[in-house]
Chain A
Amino acid sequence: MVASLERENSLVGFFRWLYAGVERTIFMGMKFTFPSRFVSPLGFLGMLTFIMFIILGITGALLMLWYEPILDRAWDSVENINDVIPYGFHMRNIHYHASNAMVMLALLHMYYQYFSGRYKIRNEILWVTGIILGVLTILEAFTGYDIIFSERAELAISIAASLTNSIPILGPQMRDAFFGAGFHDFVLRFYAFHVFFLPIAMLGLMLVHFPRFLVFDVPMVMAITGAVMLTGGVFPVEMGLKFDPNVPPGITVPEWYLTGLYAFLRTQYDKFVTGVAWPGLFIFTLLVIPFIDRYKRFSWKDRPIITAIGITSIAQIIVTTYWGFYIDPDRTKSLLERLVIDPIFFYLVMILLVPLSFGFTYMMIKLAKNAEANAKLQPKKPGGKSSVNISQKWIYIVFVALLAFQVYLNIAAYYAVLSGMKNYSLFIIGIIMLVFAAMFHIFRSGRAMAKAPPPKPISPPPRVTKPALTPPSTSPSIPASSKEEKPIVAPSAQKSAGNPSSPQNQPSQPQSSRGTSAPASSNSSSTISDPTLSDINLTNATNMTTSSPSSPSNENISSTNSTDVDRKKV
């Protein structure tokens, strides 16, 4: 059996031929990496966001077959999808939960890039397009839940329309142009935005946003897909009540990514200020942050002000998001009393969060630096968490057990559908996805084990590509720009050069490989661009500075490299 798999059959040949053909396409500019071991998903959250986008595209396209963007039929068509169409429930739930996951992953992706300072080193375009993509993602999710035309959708549309109206001078014209007049136009236009305008704009931006090095981690992709389905099974999305202007609606709050904005609106302060100017200022700050951040280092520990700003924003997002959800449960009070947030109290808390967050950041940096210093005194822990430390035989046994489990789950899922338990079947299919993720993880571990000793991994490719990436003129430019960088480069270089074999350098690796991918590029690039630093830098992960001219390529791939390299060295 093994032998038959070893043989190159015509199908494998066909795929090889296809793969070779990719040389002629724009895809050859990209480098896909399929990690051969567990890699922290923090490094490829962007890819996971994109996977969600793809899932949304597929399920959304299918939902288009049944959805009717017409004033008096929109809600009923969604109900039809949900209740009547076979697997419509599944599609709708995956679509809904994947939209939440996409917004969440995009946020996490942004904050990870923010704290690891990866928007530096000529990645500013990536960052700016990423922020715009994030805004479009939220608009996309927003228009999506509006076209159900439930009471909550109507609330959201009315807020969006009045916010647009409140924009000085051009507001009313903009509302007329984008929203049209009346509910009939609203539904149809939001639908057009949702299925075409926004996705096409996002795809265009993605072309610019995508880095050259991409990580496609099959188990992680399947795991989050499974998690989305599982969530859909446990918390199926509700239909809401059909909007009828003659029926008093219950209290509804918007989706979680907009409750922060909603909290501001609920202070009943001027609509333009609370609903347009504040979020606009927030987005603008994010857009320009790479140009404000003048620190020469990457780690959050070395950029205290920027880190503190980030922590403040997170604190404010969390507080406002919760506040937006919170509605006084006391039903004896008037609705207005329950809804309105006291602006003085609210803004006071917002302001108070600033010194608190700055203090918190100061404490965290102190603690982290302390831990770093302590770690230097202790010997390194051997081994990584990633490897599956079981024998080959047990790998087979676990694999077979998982396969049997898959068979059982398949039957269970089918019977769940037969007996009308849609959410249960969606839940089980989510588990199937997760089991696949586990199987794939075991598979690649087993394969890596079979190839003992592990071959020197992917690290050669970047070295090979580096000279091609780096124009020859850049290495002379180092001395020119070294005026500022010298204080940073020099000490670390001396440190590593001074005691190359001492344990002092090595303990600093874990943070770097966890916190940022920057060291990877320093590893590979500095060996080429700066001969004085030589290979010693490979072990010294903290000396990453902006001095390496070829470092813009430190993308996701590099982070995998760095972890691999680090483990090897350890």
Chain B
Amino acid sequence: MAAQQTPSRGAGRRISRRDFLKLMAAAGTVMTFTPFIDWGKFLPNPTGNISERAKVELPDGSQANVKTFQVNHSEAVVYPKTDDPALNQEAFRTWQFIRLPEELGGNKNDPSAFRMYSMVCLHLWCLWKYWPEPGRKRGECPCHGSMYDPLTGKAFAGPAALQSPPSNVLPMLDLEIDGNGDIWIKPPNWSVDGNGIVGFGRFIRA
């Protein structure tokens, strides 16, 4: 080794054949194993990758419609829905579909009247729900009393409110309404800067 290195140094800037060969071997090794980087996609669960809009399917099986869905009312919606009933029960797939109360603009017939938040409380993953009673009109978690603002999904009281962003704002799905008044869920972007991460939170878009 040592005997080989001395001439290569003496040769100045020029690369020796031996070093060139080593570089080629290193490049070959890198090229051989490069394709496996993408194999990392094996790990995340792909069911969240949805590229098409989905129905807001109410518990009775019908699609939510602007004309029929009451103001200041909420339903639990499964999204993304699978064929496996056990998986459909999972907390991470349950969303609270809310039509806001009148004072928050719930009587409009556009998507701004509706909200769809993950029901998984950001504190310890219990399932919160919307309480439409006068004086409440907010999301409340039965476990430790975290309360959520229906307008933004931000926790304003309880342990979840103490968590630093993004863990104090509920993940929210974007909605759209077609010509018939049917409500659809737009393809989600599961990141804290997009629709948020279920059980973790979301940054409120400025």
Contact = CB atoms under 8 A, between A and B. Distances in A.
A176 interface: yes
Task: Tell me if A's interface is mostly helix, strand, loop or mixed.
Answer: helix
A248 interface: yes
A162 interface: yes
Q: Which 5 A-B pairs have the closest CB atoms?
A: A182-B92, A177-B43, A176-B44, A245-B91, A181-B45
A27 B47 CA distance: 48
30 contacts: A71-B87, A161-B199, A162-B199, A176-B43, A176-B44, A176-B45, A176-B190, A177-B44, A180-B43, A180-B45, A181-B47, A181-B48, A181-B198, A182-B87, A182-B90, A182-B198, A183-B90, A183-B91, A184-B86, A184-B90, A245-B126, A246-B126, A248-B126, A248-B144, A249-B126, A268-B159, A271-B163, A336-B159, A340-B159, A340-B162
A334 B43 contact: no
A183 B125 CA distance: 10
B45 A155 contact: no
Contacts, number: 92
Given A155-B124, A161-B200, A270 B164 contact: yes
B70 interface: no
Task: Tell me if B's interface is mostly helix, strand, loop or mixed.
Answer: loop
A176 to B, nearest CB: 4
Contacts of B48: 181
A270 B191 CA distance: 19
B47 to A, nearest CB: 7
Nearest to B86: A72
Nearest to B141: A248
Contacts of A175: 197, 200
B158 A336 contact: yes
Contacts of A217: none
A249 B92 contact: no
Interface string A158-197: 1001100110000011011110111111000000000000
A11 to B, nearest CB: 51
B144 A336 contact: yes
A271 B164 contact: yes
B93 interface: yes
Interface of A: 71-72, 154-155, 158, 161-162, 165-166, 172-173, 175-178, 180-185, 245-246, 248-249, 268, 270-271, 334-336, 339-340
Given A181-B47, A268-B162, A340-B162, A154 B125 contact: yes
Nearest to B122: A162
A182 B90 CA distance: 7
A175 B199 CA distance: 11
Contact of A245 (B40, B127, B200): B127
Given A162-B200, A271-B167, A249 B86 contact: no
Contact of B167 (A162, A183, A339): A162
Contacts of A339: 159
Nearest to B91: A245
Contacts of A176: 43-45, 190
B200 A181 contact: no
B26 interface: no
A176 B198 CA distance: 11
B120 A245 contact: yes
B142 A183 contact: no
Contacts of B187: none
Nearest to A334: B145
Interface in B28-75: 40, 43-45, 47-48
Interface string B153-175: 00000110011100100000000
A480 to B, nearest CB: 22
Contacts of B25: none
B21 interface: no
B48 to A, nearest CB: 5
Nearest to B200: A165
Nearest to A70: B86
Most buried by A among B142, B163, B164, B199: B199
Given A165-B197, A245-B127, A334-B145, A178 B43 contact: yes
A144 B190 CA distance: 29
B23 interface: no
A150 to B, nearest CB: 13
Given A158-B199, A249-B124, A336-B159, A172 B192 contact: yes
A72 B145 contact: no
A385 B57 CA distance: 77
Nearest to B93: A182
Most buried by B among A158, A173, A181, A271: A181
A245 B142 CA distance: 10
A336 B86 CA distance: 33
B143 interface: yes
Contact of A180 (B44, B142, B158, B192): B44
Contacts of A183: 90-92
B109 interface: no
Given A181-B47, A249-B126, 18 more contacts: A154-B125, A158-B125, A165-B197, A172-B197, A173-B44, A175-B200, A176-B45, A180-B45, A182-B92, A183-B90, A183-B92, A245-B91, A245-B125, A246-B127, A248-B126, A271-B167, A335-B145, A339-B159
